[in-house]
Amino acid sequence: MTQYRLASTSMFYVPGLILWILALRRGNVKGARTDKAARVHFIKVSWPTLPDTAVDAILRGDYRVEGEDVIVEA
């Protein structure tokens, strides 16, 4: 299992960004056919090198917050 650290910056607070992404609905994203597709799209745009297993873990809520960062194990 690999650990991925999604680090906050001075412009983006990653725990809040993840919560916002998880609240997205298909109507919020032009062309999205499902709620999940809308969420996957924004995760992949935000972290393009994150593997699909880590994306799925985020969608399941299987991550933890350490300070201002999000840790995903996949």
- For residue 29, the model assigns a pLDDT of 85
| pLDDT reported for residue 70 | 98
Number of folded domains that form the chain: 1
- Would you state the pLDDT for residue 13? 98
Query: For the segment 8-64, what is each residue's pLDDT rounded down to a tens digit?
Result: 999 999 999 999 999 999 988 888 899 999 999 999 999 999 999 999 999 999 999
Q: What predicted TM-score, i.e. pTM, was given to this entire model?
A: 0.91
- For residue 31, what pLDDT is reported? 87
- CA-to-CA separations, 39 to 1, 64, 72, in angstroms, rounded: 23, 18, 16
- Domain of residue 44 covers 3-73
* 8 Å CB contact between 70 and 9: no
pLDDT at 20: 97
